[in-house]
Amino acid sequence: MTPTLAAVAWAFGLVAWVVVRVPHQRRARKTQVARSAKTLQDRLALAAAAAGLSVVPITFVATGFPAFADYTFQPWLGWLGLFIELAFLWLFYASHRQLGKHWSVTLEIRNEHRLVTDGLYRYVRHPMYLSFWLWAVAQFCLLPNGVAGPAGLVGVAILYFSRVRHEEAMMRETFGTSYDEYARHTGRIIPKPW
C-alpha cells in the first residue's frame, strides 16, 4: 500500500457512502414525519461530522493542506484502514437496508414508525453509528496527516455523544416499555454477551 493508493481507497469509501445514502435520502423526503426532535444542537453536530469526514479530508487529499501535519505513511496501517473501511461500508449498507423507511438524517419519528429489533438491530441499537466510528478509524489509518487523519474521529465523537441520549429518549417516549425491553438486551454499539 502506498499513500496514493490509501488516498484513493479513502475517496472510494466516500463515493460508496454517497451511493448507498442517496436513495434513502430521496425516499425519506417522501415519507411523512409524525414528530420531530431535531434541534440546533443536532444540526451543528451533523455539520461537525460532515466536516470531519468530508470537508477536512477532501481538502487534504485534493490539495495536500495542511502539509505541516504530515507524518510518515505506514503501509500496514493503510491495509488495516482498507479492511476497516470495507467493514464500515457493509455495516452502513446493511443498517440502512434493515432500518428502511424508518431512517432519518436527524431525530424524527415517521408515520407508521415501527421499532426495528431484527437483523443488526438485534445485537446493537446503533449499528449505523457504529459504522460511522469504523469509517472514522479507517480515515485515521488511511490518511497520514495529523489533522485530516483524526478529523473524522472528532466529528463522529461530537455527533455520537451529542445525539445518542436524545435519540434514545425520543424512542423511549414513542415506544415506551417495548424500547426499555429492547434496550435491556442490546448494547449501544457493542453487543451485550449476556
Q: Which positions touch ligand SAH (CB under 6 A)?
A: 95, 99, 102-104, 107-109, 115-116, 121, 126-129, 167, 171
- Considering the complex, state which of residue 56 and residue 159 has its C-beta at the smaller distance from ligand SAH: 159
DSSP letter for 145, please. B
- Considering the complex, state which of residue 10 and residue 133 has its C-beta at the smaller distance from ligand SAH: 133
Q: Are strands 33-36 and 108-110 parallel, antiparallel or unpaired?
A: antiparallel
Least distance (Å) from ligand SAH to the CB of residue 71? 32
Least distance (Å) from ligand SAH to the CB of residue 170? 7
- Considering the complex, state which of residue 45 and residue 126 has its C-beta at the smaller distance from ligand SAH: 126
- Considering the complex, state which of residue 95 and residue 145 has its C-beta at the smaller distance from ligand SAH: 95
Give me the sign of the Cα torsion angle 108, 112, 116, 117: positive
Least distance (Å) from ligand SAH to the CB of residue 12? 23
Lookup result for grid cell 502506498: 2
Q: What is the 3-state secondary structure (H, E, C) of 77-128?
A: HHHHHHHHHHHHHHHHHHHHHHHHHHCCCCCEEECCCCCCCCHHHHCECCHH
Distance (Å, whole) CA 111 – CA 135: 31
φ/ψ of 145, rounded to 5, equals: -145, 130
Least distance (Å) from ligand SAH to the CB of residue 126? 3
- Considering the complex, state which of residue 2 and residue 41 has its C-beta at the smaller distance from ligand SAH: 41
Least distance (Å) from ligand SAH to the CB of residue 108? 5
Residue 78 near residue 1, CB atoms below 8 Å: yes
